[in-house]
Amino acid sequence: MPADGEHRALLDDTYKLFSLTNPLHADAFPSVRQMEAEVVAITADLLGGGPNGPNLNVCGAMTSGGTESILSAVKASRDYMAERKGIREPEMIIGVSAHAAYWKAAEYFRIKLHVVPVGRDFRLSVANVRRYINRNTAILVASAPGFPHGLVDDVKGIARLAARAGICCHVDACLGGFCLPFVRRLGGRVPPFDFSVPGVTSMSVDTHKYGQAHKGTSVVLYSCPELRAHQYTRITDWTGGLYISPGLAGSRPGALIASAWASLVHLGEEGLMAATRDIINARDTLIAGIRSEIPELEVIGEPEMGVVAFRSRKPRDINIYVLNDWLSTRGWHLNALQAPPALHFCFTAMNAVSAPALVVALRQGVAEQLANPQVAAEAARRGSAPLYGMANVTLDRGMLGEFLVAYQDVMLIP
């Protein structure tokens, strides 16, 4: 299995070797510079760029993670649209299933955000995006796949809308970039989602997710260097000297670049394919298990890769958040979703073996709630269940926001 001890030991050893390097000083650390360029090239190659891809101009940079890749792409796209189209009050359209990082980007970069519904199939469609486009629209966003339900949006349709309007289209492939190409090679159904789609202008792809690298790295790709240049900060009259930096950070950990490079080179396409095969088998085991053995639960949509979301068919009998708390006490870690109330499990190369055990645990958890409704009702007043229960019914988002701030404050108390 690729994500085993040997792979991790290689990453850890590589990190140690490069722990004092910093690509801000490319002249001092030429090998780190080379590795960043190669990680970007490997990623572009997989996603419609590179010498064999339909778009030879695809280029990019490494960042600290998916959020930073998204922030970088949104900032560059905003500034590119200001230059190209004179858009001074930029707007961005995302689906409700887009990652929280877009809210952050809109907040940081003062972009008006339209959060639009997804379709009945939980995917963002052209119809839902089109009606929000106006002369200030600078960026459309599609996910491949989205975090909540693991479903790929209509990238082709949304990118076509962007191309017609002459604006940017970012595809969030933070989860999918190192997995979907291999799902396709294994014969799975994957709609077009990368630079082979005309109109896609940028993508975020996380090495620290399905690239199996240490946490702290991602790749942001652009359809052309002119767009990428708007991510850079150049200062020509600073007393500290001539300054150019590609992204949000100044100094960066060269060790993470080196270990991400080691991860991709060690895995190769064979390793990524093997991991994807395990992940897809695990997804199929969970989906088949829920459909055949747990009629109280319903899988949401037809996920292309290893993120499987499900909800209760009978919320009066099965409280999905109580089920989540029950699973947590037994060592499982699932993500709680809202609107609609649901859970998801994200299969990786490391945890794919656990799919049959998860089906058993879900069956037991559901059976316990059905057998002990009073205990379940009591459990709905403890743990995370009441918070999520409240989040799904309260209209007072301000109060919930205050709660989140208080929670974050507490987390930062030593």
Ligand X SMILES: Cc1ncc(COP(=O)(O)O)c(C=O)c1O
Residues near ligand X (CB under 6 A): 65-67, 99, 101, 143, 146-147, 172, 174-175, 206
What are the angstrom distances between the C-alpha of 128 and each of 122, 156, 218, 320, 337? 12, 14, 29, 28, 22
Using the minimum distance from each CB to ligand X, give the nearer residue, 70 or 87.
70
Q: Cα separation of 278 and 355, whole Å?
A: 10
Strand order in the sheet with 168-172: 59-63, 218-222, 202-205, 168-172, 137-143, 91-95, 112-116
β-bridge mates for residue 343, sequence order: 310, 336
Using the minimum distance from each CB to ligand X, give the nearer residue, 75 or 379.
75
Question: Phi first, then psi: what are they for 305, rounded to 5°?
Answer: -125, -135
Using the minimum distance from each CB to ligand X, give the nearer residue, 14 or 69.
69
Using the minimum distance from each CB to ligand X, give the nearer residue, 78 or 99.
99
Using the minimum distance from each CB to ligand X, give the nearer residue, 174 or 290.
174
Closest CA to 257 of 289, 227, 219, 285: 219
State the minimum distance, in angstroms, from the CB of residue 382 to ligand X: 27
State the minimum distance, in angstroms, from the CB of residue 165 to ligand X: 24
Using the minimum distance from each CB to ligand X, give the nearer residue, 212 or 369.
212
State the minimum distance, in angstroms, from the CB of residue 217 to ligand X: 9
- Amino acid at site 296: E
Using the minimum distance from each CB to ligand X, give the nearer residue, 66 or 253.
66
- Amino acid at site 228: R
Using the minimum distance from each CB to ligand X, give the nearer residue, 64 or 125.
64
Q: Among positive and negative, which fits the CA dihedral 108, 114, 117, 119?
A: negative
Residue nearest to ligand X (CB): 66
Instruction: Report the phi/psi class of residue 413: left, alpha or beta, with left for phi > 0 and alpha for psi in -120 to 50.
Output: beta
Closest CA to 197 of 231, 153, 229, 136: 153
Greatest Cα pair distance in the chain: 72
Using the minimum distance from each CB to ligand X, give the nearer residue, 138 or 174.
174
State the minimum distance, in angstroms, from the CB of residue 391 to ligand X: 19
Using the minimum distance from each CB to ligand X, give the nearer residue, 67 or 369.
67
Burial class for 297, CB neighbours closer than 10 Å (0-12, 13-18, 19+): buried
Using the minimum distance from each CB to ligand X, give the nearer residue, 93 or 101.
101
State the minimum distance, in angstroms, from the CB of residue 19 to ligand X: 21
Check if the beta carbon of residue 248 is closer than 8 Å to that of residue 71. yes
State the minimum distance, in angstroms, from the CB of residue 58 to ligand X: 19
Return the half-sphere exposure (C-beta side, CA atoms, 13 A cut-off) of residue 32: 25
Closest CA to 147 of 94, 184, 224, 212: 94
State the minimum distance, in angstroms, from the CB of residue 335 to ligand X: 9
Structure tokens at 15: 């990190």
